[in-house]
Copies of this chain bind each other. A is one copy, B any other.
């Protein structure tokens, strides 16, 4: 009875799913305290260096519960294997039966992460986005831009990366898909020219500095999902008119909000949770001069939502 779905089946199913709405509904349920997300399980390996995380949870009185297992093995490139892999398991919340195994190889995590960026842009971007800035030029930086396409009309982009080769490749890929892309190796260029910026790097020191960021900008910080990572100068959060967290609880111990709070530059009470912002839009942007920030660390309800949607589309 258990169905096993391959990555290609899952990818086909995704084409018919409105993932932005699906993830948006997840954030609403999360902020309404309808979601149970126990602490993440973790295993750390030494030789070779690797890690595995188990995220699991459920929406109360829903039909399903989900367990996601994701791994990162940092020497996999030596064997020609991807660093990250994983799967999601969908169970019945009524009987405990294993309904589906989604062998998504970590792709659903990438999709739900990109979709969260689009949810944020839908509710927080300035009325007119004249240029999108992308800090980072990897896989998730591509996905973020593509997913923004469903909620933002602008197709003019400036991308920052660590090498000209990397940003040229990004430009080439994204221009094939209908975007017009400028490249830079200076993050300040992105800050100066773009009013919707997405940061998608594994940086551990700020890439965007406060004195470069202009009023009226919205920044979505995707990269920092651990206590060590950081992409934004914490003064940006101090100065921002609105700071949003995907999960207030998680952002107390990781990401940009954690960094700014630790630096005593951000009051605990300033961040608003994304689901609450969606539900109460009076908490949102009230003028196009405001500087707004969203800090996304990734919440298990996103996994729940996307795996449910894929399962329903496939079964």
Contact = CB atoms under 8 A, between A and B. Distances in A.
Interface in A163-193: none
A151 interface: no
B67 A95 contact: no
A47 B95 CA distance: 10
B57 A85 contact: no
B65 A89 contact: no
Given A47-B61, A81-B95, A85-B96, A54 B41 contact: yes
Contacts of A72: 96
Contacts of A95: 50, 73, 76, 79, 81
Nearest to A61: B47
Nearest to A39: B41
Contacts of A65: 43, 45, 52
Interface residues of A, number: 42
Interface stretch (A97-105, A226-234, A288-296): A97-105
Contacts of A38: 41-43
Which one of A76, A81, A97 has the greatest number of beta carbons of chain B within 10 Å? A97
Given A43-B38, A43-B56, A67-B69, A50 B2 contact: no
- Can you tell how many copies of this chain the complex includes? 2
A4 B89 CA distance: 13
B71 A96 contact: yes
Interface string A1-38: 01010000000000000000000000000000000101
A91 interface: yes
A95 B52 CA distance: 10
A4 B57 contact: no
A93 interface: yes
Contacts of A67: 52, 54, 69
A258 interface: no
A161 B36 CA distance: 39
B54 A54 contact: yes
Contact of A52 (B2, B43, B71, B91): B91
Contacts of A2: 87, 103
Interface string A78-120: 0101001101010101111110010100000000000000000
A241 B97 CA distance: 44
Interface of A: 2, 4, 36, 38-39, 41-43, 45-48, 50, 52, 54, 56-58, 60-61, 65, 67, 69, 71-73, 76, 79, 81, 84-85, 87, 89, 91, 93-98, 101, 103
Given A52-B65, A69-B91, A79-B95, 20 more contacts: A4-B4, A36-B43, A38-B41, A38-B43, A39-B41, A41-B54, A43-B65, A45-B65, A46-B60, A50-B95, A50-B96, A52-B67, A52-B96, A54-B56, A67-B69, A71-B91, A71-B96, A73-B95, A81-B95, A81-B97
